[in-house]
Amino acid sequence: MAEIPATGLMRRQLIYAIVFIEGFCSLGAEVIALRRLVPHIGSSIVVTAPTIGFFLLALALGYASGAKVAANYPAVVARNFLISAGLAGLGLAGVTVDGLFAHLQPAWIAYLFFIGGVLCPLAWLLGQTVPILTNLMKHQRTGEASGMALYWSTLGSFLGSLSLSLLVMQWLGVSAAAFACALGLLIGTLLLTGLQWKTVFFSLATAALAAAVNLQHPVTADTAYAEYIVGNVDLPGQQNPRALWVNKSVASLLDDSQPPNYTRYIKHLRQILLDDLGFKDKEILVLGAGGFTLSHREPLNRYTYVDIDPAIREIAERYFLHEPARGEFIVDDARRFVATSERRFDAVVVDVYSSHTSIPSHLVTREFWAGTRRVLKPDGILLANLILDGKLESPYARNLLATIDSVFGRCAIAVLHKAKPLANVEVSCFASSRPGETGIYVDEKNRADLDRAR
């Protein structure tokens, strides 16, 4: 392909192809960035909204900068694409993001470095594309030129967000999506400049670095919803103990002892269901599959797991359990399932997390807990595994427990690992109980004896 002179006019189809690549890769980078942040700071609105806001601000500043470019239009866009390819392939790599959050604390500092050093520069560079290239569309009205350029850019954004999140991330992982963005931008660079040896050299070098960095991401599996790592752990007295990490958080433990050893909270849940309540031939719903250890080698009851990630069962069976998981598996959002299901269960176990301690915000509200009550049988029980401060003194702990009580009435609370800053807190609520008025006993008006008699 011959070099395109900086002063020459580009074919309209080539301009549309370039702005399509810009839209595809810019929004794709935003989707990948949001996914990369999940293991470290979760996916709550206080994370996604600022991230999207910073991205749009950088994009707007890019539009303004591109409008000021007055010459060498293809060369400027090609340079921007090449730099953006490096930012996408290297800056969005898992090892880069993990390294930032490992070495920069508190987490908000790492977040700002990531946004300010990777995502915003990438958006600013790519935002210049449309205003720069519309200068080359000399034979069209201004409105027609900008409108068609924005059409192809937005179409690229639409297809990029869908294909990367629903196809590439699901089948190949997030690292593959980051590499795909980098590769797309490098193709755009070559389309703009032709096969100049310098451009080809830097493009190949960037592609090689991006591939190497993304292939080094040490994960067992990577999907659009979570990254999974299965590895050996040092637990004295256990045979071949291994852990399943989901988004940097230990979700399950298992070993080859007979009977196997599990995490403490799973043992506690099993004790409640099997020993305290004597469950046998019961229907148990588990929201959040984890490692499927609650039903592991437990033949007495029927388990139904609901998880939003369709890949989690195969990952758990292949790398963690080393055997088929017991129970039915349904791919669905936990809140949607409890709001729409016609089935009723003897127990509902809530164990849903998107990162270290982050329950998705739509799964902590009164409406969600009312949904869990809806799918319980009249004599059923809710068991919720929460990670809260061990003293239950934080506003989040107080408010979350109060929210559950507002639906179920007074619930039992067991704090595991009391000496740790963050502890598993097991909440047990019965469907037969109801919220009610409460009072405080004081010396002047003490109704304790009357209440006890009632």
120: left (phi over 0), alpha (psi -120 to 50) or beta: alpha
Q: 7 pLDDT band (50/70/90 cuts)?
A: very low
In a domain, 445, yes or no: no
pLDDT in tens, 323-354: 999 999 999 999 999 999 999 999 999 998 76
User: Nearest-CA neighbor of 33 among 103, 119, 154?
Assistant: 119
In a domain, 145, yes or no: yes
User: Taking 50 as the threshold, does the pLDDT of residue 248 lie above it?
Assistant: yes
User: Taking 70 as the threshold, does the pLDDT of residue 4 lie above it?
Assistant: no
Q: What is the pLDDT of residue 5?
A: 43
User: Taking 80 as the threshold, does the pLDDT of residue 451 lie above it?
Assistant: no
In a domain, 373, yes or no: yes
Co-location of 200 and 261 in the same domain: no
Co-location of 39 and 144 in the same domain: yes
In a domain, 137, yes or no: yes
Q: 30 pLDDT band (50/70/90 cuts)?
A: very high
Q: What is the pLDDT of residue 287?
A: 96
Is 311 in contact with 233 (CB distance < 8 Å)?
A: no
Q: What is the CATH number of the domain that holds 26?
A: 1.20.1250.20
Q: 6 pLDDT band (50/70/90 cuts)?
A: very low
Co-location of 394 and 283 in the same domain: yes
Q: What is the pLDDT of residue 402?
A: 93
User: Taking 50 as the threshold, does the pLDDT of residue 160 lie above it?
Assistant: yes
Strands (DSSP E) found in 288-421: 302-307, 328-331, 345-350, 376-389, 412-415
DSSP state of 108: H
> Across the chain, what does the average pLDDT equal?
89
Co-location of 117 and 146 in the same domain: yes
In a domain, 448, yes or no: no
Co-location of 261 and 404 in the same domain: yes
pLDDT in tens, 111-143: 999 999 999 999 999 999 999 998 887 767 777
Looking at 218, 248, 282, which one is the last position of a domain? 218
In a domain, 6, yes or no: no
Is 147 in contact with 79 (CB distance < 8 Å)?
A: no
Q: What is the pLDDT of residue 170?
A: 81
Q: What is the pLDDT of residue 139?
A: 67
Co-location of 280 and 412 in the same domain: yes
Q: Kindly state the average pLDDT of the residues 160-177.
A: 88
Q: 43 pLDDT band (50/70/90 cuts)?
A: confident
Co-location of 257 and 375 in the same domain: yes
User: Taking 60 as the threshold, does the pLDDT of residue 77 lie above it?
Assistant: yes
Q: 217 pLDDT band (50/70/90 cuts)?
A: low
Q: Kindly state the average pLDDT of the residues 369-393.
A: 93
Question: Which residue range is the domain that position 284 belongs to?
Answer: 228-430
Co-location of 350 and 261 in the same domain: yes
Q: What is the pTM of this model?
A: 0.81
Beta strands 412-415 and 328-331, pairing class: unpaired
Is 296 in contact with 326 (CB distance < 8 Å)?
A: yes
Q: What is the pLDDT of residue 355?
A: 59
In a domain, 435, yes or no: no
* Residue whose structure tokens are 């292949």: 318
* Residue whose structure tokens are 């029927």: 302
In a domain, 84, yes or no: yes
Looking at 218, 240, 259, which one is the last position of a domain? 218
Q: What is the pLDDT of residue 452?
A: 74
Q: What is the pLDDT of residue 357?
A: 58
Amino acid (1-letter code) at residue 214? N
Co-location of 207 and 68 in the same domain: yes
Torsion of CA 239, 245, 251, 252, to 10 degrees: -20
User: Taking 60 as the threshold, does the pLDDT of residue 55 lie above it?
Assistant: yes
User: Taking 90 as the threshold, does the pLDDT of residue 300 lie above it?
Assistant: yes
| Count: domains in the chain | 2
User: Taking 90 as the threshold, does the pLDDT of residue 109 lie above it?
Assistant: yes
Co-location of 286 and 362 in the same domain: yes
Instruction: Tell me what percent of the residues of the chain surpass a pLDDT of 70.
Output: 96
Q: What is the pLDDT of residue 2?
A: 39
User: Taking 90 as the threshold, does the pLDDT of residue 418 lie above it?
Assistant: no
Lowest mean pLDDT among 5-9, 166-170, 225-229: 5-9
Q: 423 pLDDT band (50/70/90 cuts)?
A: confident
Looking at 190, 218, 246, which one is the last position of a domain? 218
Cα–Cα–Cα angle for 202, 97, 43, rounded to 5 degrees: 130
Co-location of 195 and 275 in the same domain: no
Q: What is the CATH number of the domain that holds 383?
A: 3.40.50.150
Q: 159 pLDDT band (50/70/90 cuts)?
A: very high
Co-location of 234 and 95 in the same domain: no
Q: What is the pLDDT of residue 78?
A: 94
Please report how many Cα atoms fall inside a 13 Å half-sphere around the Cα of residue 157, on the Cβ side: 14
pLDDT in tens, 361-375: 888 899 999 999 999
Q: In whole angstroms, what is the distance from residue 246 CA to residue 396 CA?
A: 22
Of residues 303 and 248, the one with the higher pLDDT is: 303
Q: 420 pLDDT band (50/70/90 cuts)?
A: confident
Q: Kindly state the average pLDDT of the residues 379-389.
A: 93
What H or E segment, with its residue span, contains residue 252? Answer: strand 249-254
Own/partner pairs, 411-419, CB within 8 angstroms, 24+ separation: 411/382, 414/268, 415/390, 416/264, 416/265, 416/268, 417/264, 417/390, 418/390, 419/390
Q: In whole angstroms, what is the distance from residue 98 CA to residue 101 CA?
A: 5
Q: What is the pLDDT of residue 8?
A: 41
User: Taking 90 as the threshold, does the pLDDT of residue 403 lie above it?
Assistant: yes
